[in-house]
A and B are shown apart, each in its own frame.
Chain A
């Protein structure tokens, strides 16, 4: 049963299974375990980012392509819900319509960008996605009559979703379900072809699998995942805006989550997202203590200043790229305790 749910991709390590179960339990019972708006906020953010990071791992870890446009799709999802709810009223119909439009737009863009640039070298593709994402960010902040500009869009939701509890479980359930869908996809024949392309492009091409087709498909699926995450995040926040979704910082965060968690493992994205969001919220408090304790020492207080947590994550990220491409998941699995 578990094997079926996880599409045969078992954690394969007691330590990893324990960690994943812990996260799952914490998220499933979050409203009861961690009362308080801030903790629930963090839990919802973890759910959303697990999905976002997992959909990125499909691209980076399984297909081997670096795209900087992922936050753009995240934003498209957010604006789909936000603009629909704001302009067509907070009903289920408008939510559905907004979501559908967002998903369609995302696939169209992913398809277009994919076909045009996936034929060329990885570096060219990465630069193009950066330019496209940047363009979208500019559009979102400049077309303020449509998108609310830098301030974004506040909106309300159908009755049912106005309850924080209900909204949380919608976000949790949807994220979990879509994560399992992604797991199924990467463990299917399609996923295996993706891996073979990543390993050896020429051989895959020679074996008759048109590389561009598979990569474009992966690009589209990844985009759909990110858009879905965007939809959910907007539902939770009842707000959408360029800073929350489209910023390059968010893109960097996703990269950190996937690489530190472990590329090409899906579970890595889950763990990476969890750790990252927790660190973003709570590590700072820890670091503030450390920084305070080191007052008077030159430079050191600045290095452990809570706002510098990104510095340490960056270092960890680099170390992972060089030495631990399978990240935390890889280390846990290696310890087959």
Chain B
């Protein structure tokens, strides 16, 4: 049984007086794409931010490739090989596309072949290479955000709602891009509300509700079981087809 890339055990997170994560236990298998699903407010974003060290967990352990990381600072977690694409994309609007990518490439200039591959996945980035990132459309910003996360090989990608606010046609492009990504060595954890997107790409799935994981298993199994989908995801499945 391949060892888990990332394992959370009993993770609790408090924001002020709010107890958001109430004992999260789950594992992200090595390689492949794991989907983290759940309704609004279930704690999915908090989960990613806690893994990334942006919010400190108040209890529990987070293990990344055998090392405990719950007490590490965000830059150190990133340097271990974790890349984060936040919900609001986090692109630097005042910098050019090129400068955004330059910053993301910690070791210096991005590798030529890698960049060419990224341009194949996301052609607009090459087109607007010297343009201000703030002038990109929503879909293009999302592309840039993901491109930044993969400009150098990373071990784990944390992606928060990549399809949020995107037109259906662009979502199709996104699915293709993620399929390409899956062919690389990277483990991907994606938070999503769009079940169609999830079903197309997910290998494993975990469902969150009220700060806890209420279901884990394979995506195939969940996709086949409509009753279980309705039970776990309720309305969110309907509204995001």
Contact = CB atoms under 8 A, between A and B. Distances in A.
- Is A–B contact present in the complex under a CB 8 A cutoff? yes
Interface of A: 200, 203
B16 interface: yes
Nearest to B18: A203
B14 to A, nearest CB: 14
Contacts of B16: 200
A5 to B, nearest CB: 35
Contacts of B17: 200, 203
Nearest to A200: B16
B2 to A, nearest CB: 43
Q: Is the interface of B mostly helix, strand, loop or mixed?
A: loop
A11 to B, nearest CB: 30
Contacts of A203: 17
**Which 3 pairs between the two chains have the least Cβ-Cβ distance?**
A200-B16, A200-B17, A203-B17
Contacts, number: 3
Contacts of A200: 16-17
B119 to A, nearest CB: 40
A200 B16 CA distance: 9
A200 B17 CA distance: 10
A82 to B, nearest CB: 49
Interface of B: 16-17
A105 B239 CA distance: 54
A203 B15 CA distance: 12
3 contacts: A200-B16, A200-B17, A203-B17
A203 B18 CA distance: 11
A203 B16 CA distance: 10
A200 B15 CA distance: 12
Nearest to B16: A200
A256 to B, nearest CB: 31
A206 to B, nearest CB: 11
A192 B21 CA distance: 30
A87 to B, nearest CB: 55
A20 to B, nearest CB: 34
A187 to B, nearest CB: 24
B16 to A, nearest CB: 7
B199 to A, nearest CB: 35
A64 to B, nearest CB: 16
A315 B17 CA distance: 34
A47 B212 CA distance: 59
A220 B16 CA distance: 30
A141 to B, nearest CB: 42
B72 to A, nearest CB: 28
A223 B16 CA distance: 33
A203 B17 CA distance: 10
Nearest to A202: B16
B40 to A, nearest CB: 16
A264 B165 CA distance: 45
A200 B18 CA distance: 12
B91 to A, nearest CB: 23
A222 B17 CA distance: 31
B1 to A, nearest CB: 44
A47 B17 CA distance: 41
A271 B17 CA distance: 34
